[in-house]
Chain A
């Protein structure tokens, strides 16, 4: 035991200071797992009830659940892990949040300061390991620095382009005593996020959009994270222009709206990708032209297209695609300013031009690129998602893992609201689905929460069935079980002459028995005729966790598909493979 020196009056321990900081930040949930280096902190957690601690079964899930809580609510998610293996287990969760710009504060225990560098038990250089996958990180070296550091961590995580911040605290620091004073505000000369966009550039953008003959609005996760959906809807409706969303941007514009062309990108709709490729003025908002969105940048390039890009992160602008009108700023602030300009504007878009553009788009829509061949013999995964959308009235929080099921969820569940579609877009982390559902359900106890997953992904964090039981989370797992790592199998079919190397999932558990052993309800659904009834039955069990094992078509593929390295207009459509 290290020395817990006796306090002077008004002094409290570092552990208690940390708890007080979290209370000051109005944290509702801390997702974590105890261990040696964080024992002082857990002792203080025991003595308080301002926030609830959610005990997960693996630290990766703690970070994913905190991440989902942040995605669903817009608040900063908080995870707490111990040093060494606790810290390294958190890495995948941190990297996942980093790639999708999710505000998180991850607190990790560290060995006592004098033991750092001594290869102590459960020691790992957390600040060093996380440096490439955090927005910022801190090692607290003095108990007096805890409060200011936590204040900065929350501020950095939530402002500008959000992201995860790690605070590594040596065990002895949590035992030392200091006076608690929580700073009212943060001033950092080295960190001053830009909020307001350049007015001249905004005026120029609006003028270009009003003069456009073939306009297109392309928005990403920035609109969702920046709480700018309303402003986007107002802007797009006023102009009557087509809108597409990235995988991360779904829900930023209502999917059931007629101006919505669907998701774009590798598995985007024909109309969205064609409109993106052929537009003359493109407005990109909170999106980053990544490889899964525009494919080959050389193919995407067109000298006849003017691109306006609104993003809070200057480094996202002109990274893969040269931008003509860059606007650095908070998307909500910039869209608000654009809306004000539109209201004051007397000029309107050329009705004839816009009409013929929509006629062109309608011919692309006629391809019906999302139509699939349903079956009465075997369950088609797309059908399950369509029925899920109907049964939940399009109003569920939907999490997914990574793979074919993720793409089908994105294509067939029509999201009308932001923060309803929770998935790992950037890092593509298998295993996020179940912990994501936990975070969503805790944030919204009475909401319908569905976790769309595959038999590969679900097994990457299956231990969380236990956490779900402990906290009585009435999540519905929609397992699209095709006995294959479907997306791997699809690529092997298309690009490796059907050599299905290690993509078959053998020796699967009896998922119904597995769910039941954790105290949940399990269901096997084999017959297409039973899909809708089973979903209704499951969602009627409002207070139960239901694990639905849908045995689906093993050979179904995700279409359309832009093969890796190809251009957006070079899609493979269903029936053309």
Chain B
């Protein structure tokens, strides 16, 4: 099952590679991993999307907690959470495609952020599955390029991950 794990770690060089190395060394899956500093410059916040049996997820959480640079770990799936990912898609926008792309973009609440003679660049945010659905809805031959950030997640309501 897919899990979204959030963690706070010391904002130190090498901290990211400790996490990435842990996943490869112990053969855990990583679907996506995003990291950036927080409002406290000494801390980085990482969101890891992974999958595995409950036993594997339990080990992943324990192994992450064991890393000396990791301050706090939270499995967002233990409660209610919000997940968002940003995707930029460059699509063909010529002839009949031009209107069709605009309509599709509106349906998925995307925004066209760059316009060229033959293409649009569309920005879409949402859960990873929404972004997947958007790509599926497009004609494959119309997609020129995609780039995705990987998911970020946050607990709903009073669920807070903070030091």
Give chain A's interface residues, CB within 8 Å of chain B.
127-128, 131-132, 135-136, 139, 156, 188-191, 313-315, 318-319, 322
Contact = CB atoms under 8 A, between A and B. Distances in A.
A319 B10 CA distance: 27
B121 to A, nearest CB: 35
B21 interface: yes
Across the A-B interface, the 6 shortest Cβ-Cβ residue pairs: A315-B62, A136-B68, A190-B71, A132-B25, A314-B62, A191-B68
Interface string B83-126: 00000000000000000000000000000000000000000000
Contact of A190 (B13, B14, B58, B70): B70
Interface of B: 9-10, 13-14, 17-18, 21, 25, 55, 58-59, 62-63, 65-66, 68-71, 163
Nearest to A136: B68
Contacts of B14: 127, 131, 139
B66 A190 contact: no
Contacts of B13: 139
A139 B163 CA distance: 25
Given A131-B21, A132-B21, A318 B58 contact: yes
A318 B65 contact: no
Contacts of A189: 71, 163
Given A315-B66, A318-B58, A190 B10 contact: yes
B17 A190 contact: no
Contacts of A132: 21, 25
B25 A190 contact: no
B68 A135 contact: yes
A139 B63 CA distance: 22
A189 B17 CA distance: 20
A154 to B, nearest CB: 14
A190 B69 contact: yes
A569 B49 CA distance: 41
B143 to A, nearest CB: 37
B49 to A, nearest CB: 21
A128 B10 contact: no
Contacts of B163: 189
Contact of B63 (A136, A188, A315): A315
Contacts of A318: 55, 58
Given A127-B14, A131-B17, A190-B10, A313 B25 contact: no
Nearest to A319: B59
Nearest to A192: B71
A304 B105 CA distance: 59
Nearest to B66: A315
A131 B66 contact: no
A438 to B, nearest CB: 30
A315 B57 CA distance: 11
Nearest to A328: B62
Contacts of B65: 314-315
